[in-house]
């Protein structure tokens, strides 16, 4: 459920739309009630009083698959899901399935096939559809099957099977395929047409017919002959068991299609690669030669694909609800795109009023219930997402206490859901191989809807936590449950027996599907494309924060691919997809049959336009690529709305800022006083977002960096380059225009692309004296040291949190200095635990104001959990004070002492010395 409102059972105005990651189960769990995953767990039995997948009348259902497919996880939320999910008890076959260019529906006598080429406008002009209409049925003589089951599937093809005890029919269909490949036993091939066919070619085993204005070719085995009797066409198969049918772009294409008639497709697979700011993907069909040796085939590419391929295409085209499809004569093709940008947050901007932002942040953290009473997965997720957006913002303005309060709230809520047995938990369904959160909502349990929407917020929030607390995100801690949610929604493994490959993401269609059962006449649907990309952006951030480049690159592929699909199929960016009779510039929902200016819960234009914007995050920057489409979108919303946005004004201001930041900021300035934020938004985030883009300019997608977490902003002729470096070492990001940006470890930086950097936040405090550490125990203001390191002794497996144990001690004596009122101690210490797991280093700073040996002030900071990856990490005062005693005063011949020790763990670590990478800054001048 993408919407923040209750969802009815039918869409408004839609007239015709009735152990890859080493975690969780390697297969369906056995009989344990609780399955541990790191520090968390899930249940293998649904909580009392809850439901799993059911028919529309509430009867439990299991996957409708053959014995051959019974041990495979079913990819629910696909274009063909009604083959496997019998949502309606009186329909054991399927609902219409939109493969494009062909459409299909299983019936007792075989597979109905259509090729809709003329759109209809329904719902008071709010929906266009190329509805499935049967041209012919592919079957066998006498076939009368009691049901149809899914027998096999791959990335974008599926094989339904019919059997009535005497006859068996098996067909393979797929996205982009003009062919239906059939295998049958117990009867002759039989094609039943919707009307008397016109025969335009008769070559014995090859027959060309025209039905309802559409041209089809029928291919029987060599030596066979097609016989036409009224609307029935048959051919004996002899000792063979195969035949095929193709829709032709023209009668003149028959010879080309004949060449590939017996090169049967047996599978489909997409592969991807991210490198240097570019995403490349290859789409490959595997084939079997039933006759001869031809192994090639023909496949029709969607617009989002052929716009980004340099592979040769034929002159053949097809009509589809996604615009023109172009035909490739090969078993594979490749695409290449500039990667979509992702940042944890917009970078720091001096234009932001710190005091004002602090007040907005306090409104959030000071709320009596920061989660606004949320109990189910969707609303809890939205609340988590709202808090997650504010963590980097709070840090940017030095509000480390607020940042840590936000992180604490998020951790607490995530851990509550990540632990089985409480009021909220995740439960694994062994029949459907899915993980469902309870309390569920909007059919996420009974219909398997929207898991990618709901869980996107959980993964995104966890990625922000991981950015600041890698130990929390370790697989042995809470990261195991995060990855289990990823396996449920966006599993990159095709061999994981517990979860299907990319459950909801259709790699050929280029976007996700929301319905788990696809039980509609209009096919499957997706409303909030932006909540789908929220998951992809979360994968980028989680993979970057945890060092999982494979998962990071998967997220980049998904986000980049879906970004183009959204631009074309939701926003009609090139004005080449929506039929001219559909008089709208945007779609709230995309269906297999077309698209609709509608939502599931309201006809309010603000929500229709806003549902494909929320949530606005650093993963939304891709929307800024199509600025003219945004302007058309906003203009239409205001026309339909009778004026500017009222209910979701914050979301729509932010959306407008992707194209016209100054105009959006002006709307905020005029209207921020009297509105209620959208449920996933806050005034803190909206103010920061609009002010920052007004200062930096709109996102510039024409330039990309060589890491996914980089972006460019342009204002006038000036570009600002930004990147976040999740790693423990500084790195230089190179952009596609040749500019570079040096980014410190675990920081966001901005700059002009000259190689200089403006770290965000600034790791050096703005007041006080700076002392470097020297091996041997000295603190000095000298800057001519030689980089070295000291060994921090092991904690020996004990807990020394707050109490120094065999510490490294660094001192400076005889200090005369005046206290700066309001200033605070700061430090930056580079530490490295190597590959040791579970270590945490801690610091204490002490001040002896007169040098008499009595330390009047001590400050103990929370320990820093190092990661088990070799490389320097930065421990700073931002971890927060754990305890402080005494008061500061002027230093008169005083002593300043720094102690560093291992608070936890069973291994040594290193502390860097002799360089400005490890410094102590005292609050004195």
**3-state secondary structure (DSSP) of residue 880:** coil
Statement: residue 572 has pLDDT above 50: yes
Q: pLDDT of 686-736, one tens digit each?
A: 999 999 999 999 999 999 999 999 999 999 999 999 999 999 999 999 999
Statement: residue 170 has pLDDT above 50: yes
**Banded model confidence at residue 786, pLDDT cuts 50, 70, 90:** confident
Statement: residue 26 has pLDDT above 90: no
**Residue 756, pLDDT score:** 54
> CA-CA distance, 396 to 398, in Å (whole number)?
6
Mean pLDDT of 296-313: 98
Note the Cα 212 to chain centre separation in Å: 41
Q: Which of 126-130, 470-474, 739-743, 765-769 has the lowest mean pLDDT?
A: 765-769
Q: pLDDT of 641-692, one tens digit each?
A: 999 999 999 999 999 999 999 999 999 999 888 899 999 999 999 999 999 9
**3-state secondary structure (DSSP) of residue 608:** helix
Q: Is the dihedral of CA 551, 554, 555, 556 positive or negative?
A: positive
User: Across 266-270, 854-858, 903-907, which has the greatest mean pLDDT?
Assistant: 266-270
User: Across 10-24, 288-302, 867-881, which has the greatest mean pLDDT?
Assistant: 288-302
**870 CB contacts (<8 Å, ≥6 apart)?**
832, 834, 835
Mean pLDDT of 599-627: 97
Mean pLDDT of 524-541: 98
> CA-CA distance, 264 to 118, in Å (whole number)?
29
Report whether 37 contacts 31 (CB < 8 A): no
Mean pLDDT of 237-264: 98
**Per DSSP, what are the bridge partners of residue 139?**
190
**Residue 782, pLDDT score:** 85
Mean pLDDT of 33-55: 96
**Residue 674, pLDDT score:** 85
> CA-CA distance, 201 to 207, in Å (whole number)?
6
**Residue 7, pLDDT score:** 34
Report whether 856 contacts 889 (CB < 8 A): yes
**Banded model confidence at residue 4, pLDDT cuts 50, 70, 90:** very low
Report whether 265 contacts 157 (CB < 8 A): yes
DSSP codes joined into one string, 484-531: HHHHHHH---SS-SSS-TTSSEETTTTEE---SS--STT--EES-HHH
Statement: residue 19 has pLDDT above 70: no
**Per DSSP, what are the bridge partners of residue 270?**
283
Mean pLDDT of 400-417: 96
> CA-CA distance, 72 to 130, in Å (whole number)?
33
Statement: residue 22 has pLDDT above 50: no
Mean pLDDT of 433-456: 98
Q: pLDDT of 171-204, one tens digit each?
A: 999 999 999 999 999 999 999 999 999 999 999 9
Distances (CA, A) of 156 to 75, 176, 265: 11, 9, 11
Q: Which of 294-303, 505-514, 830-839 has the lowest mean pLDDT?
A: 830-839
**Banded model confidence at residue 766, pLDDT cuts 50, 70, 90:** very low
Mean pLDDT of 772-779: 91
Q: Which of 15-24, 71-80, 329-338, 598-607 has the lowest mean pLDDT?
A: 15-24
Pair of tokens at residue 261: 């008639």
Statement: residue 494 has pLDDT above 90: yes
DSSP codes joined into one string, 351-375: TS-HHHHHHHHHHHHTSS-TTTT--
**Residue 16, pLDDT score:** 37
Q: Say what the pTM is.
A: 0.82
Q: pLDDT of 795-808, one tens digit each?
A: 999 999 999 999 99
Statement: residue 767 has pLDDT above 60: no
Report whether 339 contacts 556 (CB < 8 A): yes
DSSP state of 567: I
> CA-CA distance, 123 to 134, in Å (whole number)?
23
Catalytic residues, which ones?
Answer: 450, 527, 531
Report whether 420 contacts 36 (CB < 8 A): no
**Banded model confidence at residue 764, pLDDT cuts 50, 70, 90:** very low
**Residue 755, pLDDT score:** 67
**Residue 776, pLDDT score:** 85
E strands present in 752-807? 754-755, 758-760, 769-774, 778-780, 788-792
**Residue 757, pLDDT score:** 57
């Amino acid at each position: 459920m993408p919407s923040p409102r209750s969802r009815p059972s039918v869409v408004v105005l839609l007239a015709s739309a009735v152990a890859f990651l080493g975690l969780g189960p390697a297969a369906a769990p056995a009989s344990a009630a609780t399955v541990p995953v790191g520090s968390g767990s899930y249940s293998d039995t649904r909580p009392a009083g809850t439901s799993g997948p059911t028919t529309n009348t509430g009867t439990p259902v299991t996957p409708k698959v053959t014995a051959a497919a019974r041990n495979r996880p079913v990819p629910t939320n696909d274009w063909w899901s009604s083959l496997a999910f019998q949502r309606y008890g009186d329909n054991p076959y399927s609902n219409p399935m939109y493969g494009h260019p062909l459409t299909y529906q299983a019936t007792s006598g075989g597979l109905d096939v259509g090729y809709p080429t003329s759109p209809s406008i329904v719902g008071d002009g709010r929906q266009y559809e190329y509805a499935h209409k049967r041209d012919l049925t592919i079957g066998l003589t006498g076939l009368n099957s009691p049901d149809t089951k899914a027998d096999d599937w791959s990335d974008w093809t599926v094989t339904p099977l019919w059997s009535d005890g005497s006859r068996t029919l098996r067909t393979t269909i797929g996205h982009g395929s003009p062919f239906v490949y059939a295998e049958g036993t117990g009867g002759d091939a039989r094609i039943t047409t919707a009307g008397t066919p016109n025969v335009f070619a008769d070559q014995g085993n090859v027959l060309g017919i025209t039905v309802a204005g559409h041209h089809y070719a029928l291919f029987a085995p060599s030596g066979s002959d097609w016989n036409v009797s009224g609307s029935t066409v048959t051919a004996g198969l002899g000792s063979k068991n195969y035949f095929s049918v193709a829709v032709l772009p023209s009668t003149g294409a028959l010879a080309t299609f004949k060449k590939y008639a017996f090169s049967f497709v047996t599978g489909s697979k997409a592969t991807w690669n991210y490198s240097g700011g570019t995403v490349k993907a290859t789409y490959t069909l595997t084939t079997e030669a039933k006759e001869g040796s031809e192994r090639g085939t023909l496949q029709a590419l969607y617009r989002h694909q052929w716009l980004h391929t340099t592979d040769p295409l034929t002159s053949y085209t097809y009509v589809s609800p996604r615009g023109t499809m172009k035909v490739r004569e090969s078993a594979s093709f490749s695409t290449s795109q500039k990667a979509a940008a992702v940042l944890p947050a917009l970078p720091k901007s001096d234009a932001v009023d710190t005091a004002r932002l602090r007040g907005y942040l306090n409104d959030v953290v000071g709320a009596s219930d920061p989660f606004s009473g949320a109990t189910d997965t969707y609303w809890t997720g939205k609340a988590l997402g709202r808090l997650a957006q504010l963590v980097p913002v709070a840090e940017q303005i030095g509000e480390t206490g607020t940042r840590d309060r936000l992180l604490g709230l998020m951790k607490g809520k995530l851990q509550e859901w990540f632990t089985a047995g409480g009021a909220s938990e995740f439960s694994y369904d062994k029949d459907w191989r899915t993980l469902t959160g309870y309390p569920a909502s909007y059919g996420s349990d009974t219909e398997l809807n929207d898991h990618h929407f709901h869980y996107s917020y959980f993964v995104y929030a966890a990625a922000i936590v991981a950015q600041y607390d890698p130990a929390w995100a370790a697989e042995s801690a809470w990261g195991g449950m995060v990855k289990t949610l990823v396996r449920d929604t966006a599993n990159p493994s095709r061999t994981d027996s517990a979860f299907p490959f990319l459950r909801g993401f259709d790699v050929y269609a280029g976007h996700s599907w929301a319905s788990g059962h696809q039980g509609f006449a209009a096919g499957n649907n997706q409303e909030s494309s932006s909540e789908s990309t929220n998951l992809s952006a979360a994968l980028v951030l989680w993979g970057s924060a945890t060092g999982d480049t494979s998962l990071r690159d998967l997220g980049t592929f998904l986000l980049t691919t879906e970004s183009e699909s959204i631009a074309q199929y939701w926003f009609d960016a090139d004005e080449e997809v929506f039929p001219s009779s559909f008089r709208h510039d945007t779609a709230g929902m995309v269906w297999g049959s077309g698209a609709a200016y509608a939502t599931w819960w309201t006809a309010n234009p603000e929500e229709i336009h806003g549902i494909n914007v929320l949530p606005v995050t650093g993963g939304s920057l891709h929307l800024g690529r199509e600025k003219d489409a945004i302007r058309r979108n906003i203009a239409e919303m205001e026309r339909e709305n009778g004026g500017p946005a009222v209910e979701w004004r914050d979301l729509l201001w932010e959306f407008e800022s992707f194209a016209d930041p100054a105009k959006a900021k002006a709307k905020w300035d005029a209207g921020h006083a009297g509105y209620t934020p959208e449920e996933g938004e806050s005034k803190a985030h909206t103010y920061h977002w609009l002010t920052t883009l007004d200062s930096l300019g709109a996102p510039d997608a024409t330039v990309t960096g060589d890491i996914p977490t980089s972006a460019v902003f342009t204002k006038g002729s000036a570009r600002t380059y930004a990147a976040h470096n999740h790693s423990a070492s500084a790195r230089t990001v190179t952009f596609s225009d040749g500019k570079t940006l040096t980014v410190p470890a675990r920081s966001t930086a901005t700059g002009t692309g000259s190689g200089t950097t403006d770290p965000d936040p600034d790791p050096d405090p703005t007041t006080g004296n700076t002392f470097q550490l020297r091996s041997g125990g000295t603190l000095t203001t000298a800057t001519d040291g030689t980089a070295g390191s000291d060994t921090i002794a092991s904690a020996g497996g004990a807990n020394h949190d707050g109490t120094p144990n065999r510490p490294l001690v660094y001192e400076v004596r005889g200090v005369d200095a005046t206290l700066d009122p309001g200033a605070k101690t700061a430090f930056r210490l580079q530490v490295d635990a190597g590959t040791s797991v579970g270590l945490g280093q801690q610091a204490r700073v002490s001040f002896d104001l007169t040098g008499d040996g009595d330390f009047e002030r001590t400050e103990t900071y929370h320990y820093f959990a190092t990661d088990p990856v070799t490389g320097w990490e930065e421990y700073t005062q931002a971890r927060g004070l754990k305890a402080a005693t005494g008061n500061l005063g002027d230093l008169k011949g005083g002593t300043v002492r720094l102690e560093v020790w291992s608070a936890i763990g069973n291994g040594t670590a290193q502390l860097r010395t002799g360089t400005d990478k490890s410094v102590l800054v005292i609050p004195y001048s």
